[in-house]
Amino acid sequence: MTNSSIITLDEKSLQNNVAFLKKKMGSKVQISAVVKANAYGHGIEQIVPLFEKHGITHYSVFSYSEAIRVYNVLSERHPIMIMGWISDKDMADVIKKGIGFFVFNNERLEVAISNAKKLKLKANIHLEAETGMNRSGLNTEELNTAISIIKLNAEFIHVEGFCTHLAGAESISNHPRIVRQLKKYQKMFSILKANDITPTYRHVANSAASFVYPKARMDLVRIGIMLYGFWSSIEVFIQYFNNKQDRMDPLRRILSWNSQIMSIQEIKMGEFVSYGISYLAQTDIKTAIIPIGYSQGYSRSLSNRGLVLIHGQLCNVIGVVNMNMVIADITNLPDAEVGDEVVIIGKQDSLEIKVSAFSDISNQLNYEVLAHLSEKIKRVVKN
């Protein structure tokens, strides 16, 4: 292996997840695949063509630069939607390429209109309503202002969507807050309707909301984490399995991350391993050096806590995680050799290290572990 580690994406698992989610959402609901944060660490350039091949026809990103990456790898002109950052200088290109984007304040609406006028084109906007998350979006007064601006500039604006984001649908403790948000959304939507503005897509749901609040599916769902094979939270997972006979997880994880043993050391009892004094050898031990570290996304919070798979066995990460190296205890693997495979995330023989295992021992979310996987790690697709 030329690379110090490699991420493998399993196409069959992706196909399985897309098919499951399409069936679950039904044919009337458009699925937008959320591919922000480098497709949750999976790699935009590798994942988007696979999603496209398996029937995903709508894509959501956070920023202009991600939108361009998606635009460049799609083979057909499917809709792309920017949910967050666009600098003013990039607005013209966004409109020229027909990319949709959230309008969460009227400054952005004005920038969109002035660019659309110059280009003699329509900007595809999604009006984002502030319904109670208190992050971004138009409040009722701002929505009314937006409506009058849109009416004056109807030739330059296409209202493609009316949307909001729910503040934590994956946790039952947020239920009252989510219900209030959905009510507020409907109330604000009626203002649009009263003004004869009919967006193509009403959309509010992420993965969790699409499952926990079926009414929130509306015309389009913005699905991220579940397409990659993860449940948003244990609560969403449990709720899905309530009232079901079959306890098989319908989702399959797509990503695995492998490296290899770079070097093997014999350490004497009483010696400290790695920086500082956090690991003291209690007996004579044998260690394997693995060429991945926090610069690749293996969190320092896994110091003395992480596990890797070598020869089908779980081995402890000992000492602190370095920038480019971790050390594993392989005292119980007498046959281990330099070059042997090390699984950091994924299966080896009958055992598996899940992303959730990382999160359990380090307090990171699945989302966070995935988003930290360095873009520099090579990604390959396994068919």
* Interface contacts to ligand PLP, rule CB under 6 A: 34, 36, 83, 165, 206-208, 222-225, 232
Q: Which CB atom, from 21 or from 325, has the smaller least distance to ligand PLP?
A: 21
Going from the C-alpha of 285 to that of each of 188, 271, 291, 293, 311, the distances in angstroms are 65, 10, 20, 21, 17
CB of 204 to ligand PLP, least distance (A): 9
> Would the CA dihedral through 24, 28, 29, 33 be positive or negative?
positive
Residue 308: in which H helix or E strand, if any?
Answer: strand 307-310
Q: Which CB atom, from 207 or from 348, has the smaller least distance to ligand PLP?
A: 207
CB of 307 to ligand PLP, least distance (A): 26
CB of 289 to ligand PLP, least distance (A): 35
Q: Which CB atom, from 138 or from 225, has the smaller least distance to ligand PLP?
A: 225
CB of 174 to ligand PLP, least distance (A): 13
Q: Which CB atom, from 157 or from 163, has the smaller least distance to ligand PLP?
A: 163
Q: Which CB atom, from 137 or from 306, has the smaller least distance to ligand PLP?
A: 137
Q: Phi/psi at 230 (nearest 5 deg)?
A: -115, 145
CB of 153 to ligand PLP, least distance (A): 25
Q: d(Cα 369, Cα 346) in Å, to the nearest integer?
A: 14
CB of 274 to ligand PLP, least distance (A): 35
CB 94 within 8 A of CB 65: no
Q: Which CB atom, from 223 or from 373, has the smaller least distance to ligand PLP?
A: 223
Q: Phi-psi category of 147—alpha, beta or left, where left has phi over 0 and alpha has psi -120 to 50?
A: alpha
Q: d(Cα 251, Cα 204) in Å, to the nearest integer?
A: 22
The torsion defined by the Cα of 134, 224, 27 and 124, in degrees rounded to 10, comes to 60
> Would the CA dihedral through 57, 63, 64, 70 be positive or negative?
negative
Q: Which CB atom, from 252 or from 311, has the smaller least distance to ligand PLP?
A: 252
Q: Phi-psi category of 120—alpha, beta or left, where left has phi over 0 and alpha has psi -120 to 50?
A: left
Beta-strand relationship, 80-82 and 100-103? parallel
Q: Which CB atom, from 69 or from 165, has the smaller least distance to ligand PLP?
A: 165
The two three-digit tokens of residue 17, written as one number: 């997840």
Q: d(Cα 316, Cα 380) in Å, to the nearest integer?
A: 27
> Would the CA dihedral through 21, 24, 27, 30 be positive or negative?
negative
The torsion defined by the Cα of 213, 214, 220 and 224, in degrees rounded to 10, comes to 60
Q: Which CB atom, from 122 or from 222, has the smaller least distance to ligand PLP?
A: 222
CB of 86 to ligand PLP, least distance (A): 15
The two three-digit tokens of residue 318, written as one number: 């000992």
Going from the C-alpha of 209 to that of each of 127, 153, 239, the distances in angstroms are 19, 34, 12
CB of 221 to ligand PLP, least distance (A): 8
CB of 222 to ligand PLP, least distance (A): 4
Residue with nearest beta carbon to ligand PLP: 224
CB of 54 to ligand PLP, least distance (A): 18
Q: Which CB atom, from 224 or from 346, has the smaller least distance to ligand PLP?
A: 224
Task: Tell me how many degrees the CA angle 284-361-280 measures, rounded to the nearest 5.
Answer: 20
